[in-house]
């Protein structure tokens, strides 16, 4: 049975119309639609258009702000702090990175901290736009309203999966890193639970501390927890990294778990480096390209695939999806049908 595919431009226009009709500024709606599309293009299907229906619900309920600008709390030149006012996190990060690139060209590096952002989708979606400009970029996020990942040795959630996105330019394709400080994500745990699936390995623990591959053990009462990177064996390393991301996000912007927020959102930290301000861009890209080449040509066991550079498969998948159309995970398009009916926006027509 062939997959149902959609033109990237058609599905992006459809999403932007839904957001605009539900109360978001057109400029912001276009950016949100683009960022979510990038997630699906690169294969991050739990953090692409699967988020669109929940975003529309948040916009309709007023927990996502659809209009206006962030409040600048501090601006020292290379360091900036915003109050995001629950504006779309995808738009805030997009705008923040544009400003950070501009400031990095002036100062060599720039950092922006955002508190009270709404959810920012997949970090991988933002990276190439910055590396294409010859800059190195870091993006961190957490959500202080939720706590689903247990500290190493604990039973109760203390923080969120806390992903880190890193974009590194090279003389060829960039290195694109998007990893959580937990073994799996909330989105994948919820999806597998809905579909009755299992994890390939014990990536969560039940409420008594037993490692499990069954998402039902997370959705229990009391709730289970997601394990940090390293799991039951080396999870102290993932726990340490989770604390680091919490400090970089909630800590630096001065608003987080201590304030007990109750609505879906995000605390964000992003930093952009201009290699020209250090050892020089040409030498930087030559060094990163050499390392990539050395890793790709590293010997592997007989019959094993070659070493894969972070982001390479996502870029390849993106290229194929742009050429052939985007196929969405089951249930994503169906979840948008009620919103299309409510707003009077025509559903996208699939490619024949």
- Which tens digits make up the pLDDT trace of 162-208? 999 999 999 999 999 999 999 999 999 999 999 999 999 999 999 99
> pTM for the whole thing?
0.96
Question: Do 288 and 350 belong together in one domain?
Answer: no
Question: Do 107 and 233 belong together in one domain?
Answer: yes
Question: Do 126 and 247 belong together in one domain?
Answer: yes
Bridge partners of 178, per DSSP, are 165
Question: Do 54 and 120 belong together in one domain?
Answer: no
Question: Do 163 and 265 belong together in one domain?
Answer: yes
Whether 188 maps to a domain, the answer reads: no
Give residue-wise pLDDT tens across range 142-168: 999 999 999 999 999 999 999 999 999
Question: Do 43 and 78 belong together in one domain?
Answer: no
Is 318's pLDDT higher than 70? yes
Question: Do 133 and 275 belong together in one domain?
Answer: yes
Question: Do 249 and 165 belong together in one domain?
Answer: yes
Question: Do 156 and 31 belong together in one domain?
Answer: no
Counting Cα atoms < 13 Å in the Cβ hemisphere of 44 gives 26
Range list of H helices, 196-269: 231-246, 252-253
Counting Cα atoms < 13 Å in the Cβ hemisphere of 208 gives 2
Cα angle 27, 59, 347; round to 5: 75
> Is residue 94 within 8 Å of residue 35, measured between CB atoms?
yes
Average confidence (pLDDT) over 239-252? 98
Whether 31 maps to a domain, the answer reads: yes
Predicted confidence at residue 1, as pLDDT, reads 45
Q: Which CATH number does the domain housing residue 284 bear?
A: 3.30.1370.60
Question: Do 255 and 139 belong together in one domain?
Answer: yes
Name the maximum alpha-carbon separation found in the chain.
57
Question: Do 122 and 58 belong together in one domain?
Answer: no
Note down the domain range covering 347. 7-68+325-352
Query: Domain tally for the chain?
Result: 2
Range list of H helices, the chain: 8-21, 26-41, 52-61, 89-107, 124-131, 186-195, 231-246, 252-253, 281-296, 312-324, 332-343
Whether 159 maps to a domain, the answer reads: yes
Give residue-wise pLDDT tens across range 321-335: 999 999 999 999 999
Question: Do 300 and 171 belong together in one domain?
Answer: yes
């Amino acid at each position: 049975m062939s997959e149902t595919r959609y033109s990237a431009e058609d599905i992006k226009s459809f999403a932007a119309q839904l957001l605009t009709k539900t109360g978001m500024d057109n400029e912001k709606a276009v950016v949100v639609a683009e960022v979510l599309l990038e997630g699906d293009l690169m294969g991050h299907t739990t953090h692409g258009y699967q988020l669109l229906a929940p975003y529309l619900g948040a916009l309709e309920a007023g927990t996502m702000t659809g209009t206006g600008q962030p409040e600048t709390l501090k601006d020292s030149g290379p360091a900036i702090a915003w109050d995001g006012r629950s504006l779309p996190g995808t738009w805030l990060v997009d705008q923040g990175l544009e400003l950070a690139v501009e400031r990095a060209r002036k100062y060599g590096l720039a950092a922006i901290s955002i508190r009270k952002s709404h959810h920012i989708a997949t970090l991988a979606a933002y990276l190439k736009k910055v590396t294409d400009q010859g800059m190195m970029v870091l993006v961190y996020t957490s959500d202080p309203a939720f706590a689903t990942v247990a500290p190493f040795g604990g039973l109760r959630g203390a923080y969120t999966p806390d992903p880190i996105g890193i974009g590194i330019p090279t003389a060829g394709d960039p290195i694109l890193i998007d990893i959580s400080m937990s073994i799996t994500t909330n989105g994948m745990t919820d999806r597998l639970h809905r579909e009755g699936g299992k994890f390939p390995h014990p990536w969560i623990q039940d409420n008594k501390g037993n490692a499990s591959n069954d998402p039902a053990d997370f959705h229990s009462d009391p709730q289970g927890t997601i394990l940090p990177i390293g799991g039951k064996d080396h999870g102290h390393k993932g726990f340490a990294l989770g604390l680091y991301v919490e400090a970089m996000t909630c800590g630096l912007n001065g608003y987080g778990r201590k304030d007990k927020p109750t609505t879906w959102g995000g605390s964000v930290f992003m930093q952009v480096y201009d290699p020209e301000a250090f050892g020089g861009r040409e030498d930087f890209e030559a060094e990163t390209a050499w390392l990539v080449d050395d890793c790709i040509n590293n010997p592997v066991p007989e019959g094993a695939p070659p070493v894969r550079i972070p982001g390479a498969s996502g870029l390849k998948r993106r290229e194929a999806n742009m050429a052939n159309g985007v196929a969405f995970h089951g249930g994503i398009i169906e979840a948008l049908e009620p919103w299309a009916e409510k707003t009077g926006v025509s559903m996208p027509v699939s490619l024949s």
